[in-house]
Each structure stands twice: as C-alpha cells, then as structure tokens.
Structure 1
Amino acid sequence: MKIAMVGSGYVGLVSGACFADFGHEVVCIDKDPAKIESLRAGVMPIYEPGLAELVGSNVKAGRLSFTTDLAEGIAGAAAIFIAVGTPSRRGDGHADLSYVYAVAEEIGQNLKNDAVVVTKSTVPVGTGDEVERILKEANLPVRIAVASNPEFLREGAAIGDFKHPDRIVVGTDDDWARQVMSEVYRPLFLNKSPLLFTSRRSSELIKYAANAFLAVKITFINEMADLCEKVGADVQDVSRGIGMDGRIGSKFLHAGPGYGGSCFPKDTLALLKTAEDYEAPTRIVEAVVKVNDSRKRAMGRKVIEALGGIDAARGKKVAMLGLTFKPNTDDMRDSPSIAIAMALADAGVNVAAYDPEGMELAKPLMPEVAMQPNAYAAIEGADAVVIVTEWDAFRALDLDKVRKLAKAPVLVDLRNIYDPAEVRAKGFAYSSVGRA
C-alpha cells in the first residue's frame, strides 16, 4: 500500500519510517526544502535513538522517499496522513490548526484518487469535521473519508512505541475507511496489538485525555514529594507502594522538577480551552497546569537554598547537568531546565551546563547559561552540581572526581538517581526530591 505522510517532523518522520519498515511504500512530504534535502542525505532533523538507521535502511530498500511536492507525494496513496504541528496559539492557548487546515485545502486541490485522509497530528475535538468540510467543498470526483489516528509516541522510545503499541486508536464511522486503516496497521494487528475503532470525536479526545491523565499523575506525585519532605517520608517508597496497586500502576509516578516537552504542556492547555468552549470545565487539569508551572521555578529556589539562601547564592556558580525535558531526545520545549536556569540567573547565580544532545537548541533559550563540552567541564569550580535530566551518562559520575573539581561538595539531585547514603558517605551535602 502507498502511504503519504504530510509533515516530516517528529511524528511524521517516525511514523513514516516505521510504516515503510512494515513493507508499505511511504512518501514523506514537507514544505521545507532544506529539511527534505537533509533527509535525502541521511541527516535527521531530530535526535531519536535508532531513527537514522531506520530511515537509511528503508530509503535504501526503496520503500521510503521524501519530497516537497504534495501533489506528487499523494498521487496513488490509499492513506494520506496529516502530521503537521499544532502548537499552542499565541494569545489564547488554543491549538493552532492553521497548518492542518492548509494541508487539507492543498489535498483538496491535488487529490486524483480515492483516499482516506487521516489526522495524525494532535487536534482538538471537531477538527476532523472541519477537515471533512474542506475536502467536501473541493468537490473532488473521488472517494474520500476522514479518520482520526492519534499518536502515542514517547520521545526517546518512539520506534519501540510505534512497533509495539499499547493500543492503536482509529476514529471513523466509515466502513471503507476502517478497511483501509486495518490494512495500514495489519502488520501490527497480526502481532495482537489492540486496534480500537471509535467515533472520530472520541478518538480526538482520547489523545488529550490520555496526556492530561499522565500529567495529573506526574503532578500528583510531585505534590506528594513536597509532603514527604515535610513529614520525613520517602517519596520513592510512597511511589512504589501506591504503584503496586493495579488500579494505579507504577508509570509516571517518579517525582521530579515537573513535566515539559512537546505534548503535555500544550495538550493540557488545549484541553482546558476546549472544555471552556463547551462549558464543561476540567478543574483538575486546570490545577495541574498551574501547579506544574510553579513547580519548575520552585526547583530553582531549591537549588538556591542548597547554596545557602538568596543572599549567599549571588555570585556563586552552579553546574546544571541535563537540559532537555527528558533523556534520549534533544527536545527543549517547556523543559524545566529553562525555568530553573532563569530563577538562578535572577538570583545572580552563574550557570554552566552540559547536555548530551540538547545544547544547540538550548543556546537561544538560555543566553545566560555557559554551555560546556562535557559534564566535568561544567562541574569545575562549581559551588553546587544539579542533576536536571536523568541521562544515563549522569547516573554513574565519578563522585571523587566531582568533589575534586567542584569548589564545594554540594549535589542537588532533582531526579533522585543517586542513593543519599552513598553520596553523603563521599562527603557531599546532598538534597533530592521528596526524600528526607
């Protein structure tokens, strides 16, 4: 089957490469000529483990290609996926659907064969209805159906998530569209991956509801971590204790500096705006957004306290290890490190930082931070070392070397990746999240 993937960003590129690996013929389409030329040359626009190899092998096999010409790309495609960005709209927080609708209009101007048009982008409820209206107004002499197929890819583990999904959600009431989408996902369905068909609006809401619920879990355990610090409990024990309950589950119960990234911040905000529009307010999600925003800045204050307080902190140096919102990605969008660095800079603290993949994208977002070539270069002369992102490279630092290089043996572990007793035995003043 030929598949067209309009948009070659994170979702489009990973999905397109995986579909090609299943044996489909896939054309990834993007308006950015530089991006397409880079992809043709084997240079990835994002960092995702295994992606370059997956793209390269399928290009070599002739199953995956790239073009800027939408008309050429969608010609003969049985399924056309829309996988363009839906960022938060400036001013009101609604999802910006201008890119989605622009693609729908261009499809309407160029489609010459029967096809199912699929919204892969994360879109608010009712977006598929508008895409369908745009395509109907084009009065094309071909058969068209519009379906929703949200993605559930974790950055840093996207290929595995695509090939071994918890579920595949397809929203459509059209029998023909169901047949086409069943064929698209047949390789996964044969491996017993659950294929859930719903109405289109239910499918659109599932994505937002899932991300909002995960954001609730993260924020909940972060608040429990604050309480643990006050009462002398250990949040990791609390997390394990509640996570062993099958009704709750252990995932997303790791205390830290708050959530960030490309999904949770914008999707929770978009869900709030949709709920407001339909006069069905989501008070829990509203509280989660506020608590998470304030938590990031609070982590900066936690570091300042470890330096001896606001007066003592001025002029001191902090080494920040990790800048991306999570490991195994170069994504800096809404990363807690941004708010933490800003809080430190506002307090007159000098910040040096290292991240294995995110520094190029971090530079324009953090002009006050001095980027370093490695972790130990950042640590040299520091009055405190702060672990912000739990990259594997930071899990086994040579603590003797750290103590020798640092000006003061102070370690602030915002991801709880070290054992407090072991670190303190090395002579460090150690603080973490939710542990006495």
Structure 2
Amino acid sequence: MDSLIRRLEAHRVGESEGSCDSGHTDESAGGTMLAQKLIPTGTLGPANRGRLLQALYDVGASSRAELARLTGVTRGTIGGIVQPLIDQGVLAEGEMIPPKEAGGKPGTKLWFSNEARPICAVLLLHDRVSACLVSLEGEVYGQHGAEFPKNLTDPSDAFRIISTCVEEAIASGKPILGIGVAVAGMINTETGAIVTVSLAPFLNGFPLEAELKKRFGVPACVDQDTRALLVGDRWFGKGRGRKHFASVYIGETLGGAIYLDGRLYRGPSGAGGEIGHTTVDMKGRICQCGRRGCWETIASSKWLTEEAKTRRLPQAHSLDVSRLLSLVNDSVPGARELLQDYAFNISIGLANLQQFMAPNFIVIHGDIVRGGNTILHLIQETFGDLVFHRPGDEIIVDFGASDCMAALRGAASLLLSELLNFVI
C-alpha cells in the first residue's frame, strides 16, 4: 500500500491513461455498467489496475476467473495485477469456490482487505467540520466533529480546528491512506483551493488541499460536497455500477452532480454543479446569491419554513418535511397543499436536469429524504408528468441518505478514486 501512496505523490495517471476509450463496456438494458475491458498493453498498468478494482467494486467479491471473464483478459493477466495488491494489503483471499468443471482448480473470492489502511474523510460546512475514517469497503468509524466559533474570521484558526478534527479521527485507528474533503462551497479542483463558501467568507481562497498535505504528509483531495455525494453513490451507494446517473442535494441549499458515460462531469477548474441557481421564475424571489428566481428559492428547506409562516401553519419556525407530514396526517388545514406544492417545486428542477442531461437515474440526498415514501411518491408523480419519456427508457428518482454519512463516504471516495486510479 505504501507503494500506492508513493505512486500517487509522484505520478497521477494522465488523460492518455485515465481517459482511454479502448476498453469495452458491458451494459445491461437497465443501464447498469458491469465492467470495462482492460487495456491489453503492458504500458498502462496503473489504468488496468484501476479498471480491475472498479470491476470488483461494481460486481462484489469475485474469483480471478470471474474477473478475467468480466474484463476480457486471461487469468494470468488478472493474477499479475491481483498478487501485488494482495501483497500490499489492498485485497485479501476469501471463501473457496468449487470448480465448475471436473478436474478444474478451486478458486477463491477476492475482496478488499480488512487490514487495508482507511481513508480520513472530512465534511466542511460553513459552521462546522466533521471527520471520520472510512474503510475500502465503505465502513465509517472514528467520527469526530467541531463547530466554528460564531466570531471566527481568521482562516488559520479555521484550519487549526479542521486539523484537530482530523487528528482526533486518525488517532482512533491505523495509519491512513490519505484525506478526502467534501466542501459545501465552490472549489478550484486544479489547485485544491476553496473559491468561496457561503456564510463563511474567512475560508474564501484558502489552499486547503496543499495545507492538509503539508500538515499530515499524506495525499489529499478536495472537491465540492455534491460531487463527493455522487462519487460516494458511485462506489458505495445507489449509483454503484451505473454508467449514467445524477446526485442532488436538497436542504438549506441545493446542488447536484452528474455522472455521464462512466465519468464525473466537472467544468473548467471544477466549475459546475450549481443546479440550485438555475432560474425557474424570472419574477421570483431574490436568492441569497443575489439573483432572482433560482430553483433554491422555491425548493429549499428555507422556502418550506418561510412558506409555512406565510400560510400560518402551527410552529412554522421549526417546520421541516417530517413535521409537515405529521401535520398532514393530523389533517391540519393547508398542510397537504404545502406538501404538494413543495413536491412540485422540487420536481421542476429535477425535470430540468433530466431534460437537459438525461441521467435517467437521480439520487436525492438531504433534509427532504426525511419525508420518506410519502413525499418521494409525490415527487415521482409530478416529475413523471414534467419529463419526456422515450420508448424503452426507464427514468427513476430515488432517495439516498439524509445524514452526513453519505457526504463523508463521498469524501473518502474522492481520494479513493485518485489513489487507485479509478476513472471518475
């Protein structure tokens, strides 16, 4: 595993390897990506290793023979890739598999080792920071958190709090592979610096990735929180094995990320994902970004609270979607209409995303998930009425996780993708 860390520090696989299209993708009718064919030359070992590990994540514990079949190479080629990963403690041998033919050799299942070094995952919000350890299987442990003082203005003080949180997390386990950070703000992914964090201007321009590398001496990767959610869905969640899907966060803010044709979409220097600031009402409310009629102004949890006050629902100041459902169940006047309006407002933005990029599978995270199947079914119904349906297409909207675990797994997945040469 140490060699993988040294390799990441010394060399990242360039576009000639990471974006090579010479592999073949097996895809079911439902749009599920099973595996890419390995690159058959000996000069692209890191890329082949990444594709093999991608296949393993997608299909689960597999034998060498199964991996050879999925990736289109010989068992000998698979063995040449797998054995160093076993020696480095990344993979481990599992249960025995009887041979399918008489006289054949029994195989063993390969999966990620319990002894492999974990990744430290960090979620950075405008008012607090959380850190934990995430295993290569996605297990979360050693979680710690801290709030920023309300009078905080110095970025060095903020970094001291972040570093302390990381130290507390890594103190509870074995040495780490690196640090992945999901930030609720705009990130320059070429430099790993924070561009801006709403409500936390003291973090604007801070070179977080460079400072973490300097402080802890391990690889680090920093990206936007919604993109981290998507990468977490890709490896550990409902996007696992899919070639096309989107992840959307709906809470106090709105954001999204797209995975198209087996790749995470990033604009120049990490731009994009600001779906909450797409315009849905030219004469609508002023958004916190200063523009008028953003999707966020009609579909965030803040809108829900403000609208509850306007409609004079009881205890509107503390109303969220789960409490709104309680009011609906109690037949409180106006509650059902507000719930239906909220579902419709959410569906508008989701439909715009589907019409433009056609991910066909959208995973929703955030506060809205606490509404459960009741509001999910309302969203699915109104969303279905707003999008075009092509013959043979299956378009699905589903809920992911509501808590920070999904974002923390996503932060770890950012680093995992860099470290193991996954194409994202």
TM-score (norm 1): 0.30
Work out which structure has the larger RCO, using CA pairs closer than 8 Å and 6 or more positions apart in sequence. 2
TM-score (norm 2): 0.31
Please state which structure has a larger fraction of its residues in strand: 2
